[in-house]
Amino acid sequence: MTTQTKQFCYWHPHPAVTTDIVIFTIRDEKLQLLLIRRRNPPFQGGWALPGGFLNMNEDLADCAKRELEEETGIKNVYLEQLYTFGKHDRDPRERVISVAYYALIPSDRLTLHPASDATEAGWFAYDELPELAFDHREITRTAHERLVAKLDYSTIAFQFLPKQFTLSELQDVYETIRSEPMDKRNFRKWITARNLIEATGNERRNGSHRPAQLFRTKRPGRVEIIR
C-alpha cells in the first residue's frame, strides 16, 4: 500500500473519532452489558465495547444510534452521551478520540434480536467482566457510576422495564443496580409519592401467589429529573 491511495488529506493532523457504547440491560437479575469480540488487532480476540468510526455526514448521537442498532437490532431506546475519552495513547494504532455513550435496553426487548450476525457478541454481568480492550474498563466504570447516580435523581430506572410493570419489578431494578436491598414499604411510599406512575388496572399472575398490580409511567419515554 502506498500513501498515494490515502485520499483524505488535511493541512493539520486530525485524530480519528469513534463512538463506543455501553449497552446495559438487566438479565437474570443482574446488571449486564454487551461486549463484542474483536476480529482484528490490536486486542484481536479480546472483548471490547461495541463502537465504530464517525461518518463525516452524521451527528455524533446518530453514530452512536447506528452502532447500537447494528449490534443489537434495537432502536428507540434511552441513549445518553457519557464522556469523551481522549488520552493520547489510548489506541496503539493512531490517535483516537472516543465519545462514549450509554444505552439502556428494556428487559422485554432483549430476545427479539439476540445479537449481530457477523460479529460474536455476548452479555456479561457488570460484576464479572472479562479483560477489556483499550481503556474500555474505565469507560464501563464511568458508565456504571453515572447509572447509579441517576437512579437517585431521575426516572432512568423505568428504561429497563416494559411499558407495564409491577412495583416489585421496579424495586428489583433499583436493588440490582445498587447491589443492595431496599425496604418494600418505604420503596412503595417513595415511588408513589413522586406521582410518576399509575395503575393500569391490569394485574399479572405468575406463580402460586397473590397477583401483582401492573403500573405504567405517566410520561413514557421521557427521563426526567426528580427530587
Partner DNA sequence: TATTGTTAGTGTCATAGGTACACTTATGAC
Partner DNA sequence: GTCATAAGTGTACCTATGACACTAACAATA
6 near a copy of itself (CB under 8 A): yes
Tell me which residues in 72-111 interact with a copy of itself (CB under 8 A).
81, 83-88, 95, 97, 99
Distance CA 180, CA 178 (A): 5
- If contact means CB under 5 to 8 A according to the sort of partner, which of a copy of itself, DNA, none does residue 208 touch? DNA
Q: Which stretch binds DNA (CB under 7 A): 37-45, 70-78, 203-211, 217-225?
A: 203-211
Nearer to DNA, 6 or 205 (CB): 205
- Judged by beta carbon distances under 5 to 8 A according to partner kind, the member of a copy of itself, DNA, none in contact with residue 14 is a copy of itself
Residues paired with 212 in a beta bridge? 204
| Cell numbers found for residue 76 | 428507540
Region of 176 please: left (phi>0), alpha (psi -120 to 50) or beta.
alpha
Instruction: Identify the active-site residue in 29, 120, 145, 198.
Output: 120
120 is catalytic: yes
> Measuring CA to CA, which residue among 160, 226, 164, 156 is closest to residue 195?
226
With contacts defined by CB under 7 A, name the span among 4-12, 18-26, 111-119, 204-212 that binds DNA. Answer: 204-212
Cα–Cα distances in Å, from 190 out to 37, 57, 82, 167, 215? 42, 45, 28, 11, 15
Closest approach of DNA to the CB of residue 188, in Å: 5
Residue closer to DNA by CB (options 141, 204) is: 204
Residues 61/145, Cβ–Cβ less than 8 Å: no
Q: Which is nearer to a copy of itself, 125 or 226 (CB)?
A: 226
Rounded to 10°, the helix 167-178/136-153 angle is: 140
User: What is the number of other CB atoms lying within 10 angstroms of the CB of residue 65?
Assistant: 20
Q: Which residues are catalytic?
A: 120
Kindly list the residues in this chain that would bind a copy of itself in the complex (CB under 8 A). Answer: 3, 5-17, 53-54, 56-61, 81, 83-88, 95, 97, 99
